[in-house]
Amino acid sequence: MIDLEYIKRLRLKHGWSQYYVSRNLKVHKDTFCRYEKGKLTPSLRVLMKMSLLYGVRIDNLLMWDEA
């Protein structure tokens, strides 16, 4: 599962708009907005690009359920 709050916090921490991030990920702004709202799940390719853009490990973008 994707940690949506963390993804949004990273974007805001960097002072980036949804438009800026979506351009860097090569996705439509509306698509990125849906990622942040949890209405759409980013592909592995997009998650890899996010981790590079934000400078974090890809597993930091994921929530692990310790069940």
Domain 4-56 has CATH 1.10.760.10: no
Give the integer Cα–Cα distance in Å for 66 and 20.
34
Domain locations along the chain:
4-56
Q: Rounded distance, CA 36 to CA 41, Å? A: 9
- According to the model, what pLDDT value does residue 51 have? 96
Taking 60 as the threshold, does the pLDDT of residue 67 lie above it?
Answer: no
Q: Is the pLDDT of residue 62 over 80?
A: yes
pTM for the structure as a whole: 0.86
Q: How confident is the model at residue 65 (pLDDT cuts 50, 70, 90)?
A: low
Condensed to tens digits (0 to 9), the pLDDT of residues 1-60 reads 888 889 999 999 999 999 999 999 999 999 999 999 999 999 999 999 999 999 999 999
Q: Are 7 and 50 in contact (CB under 8 A)?
A: yes
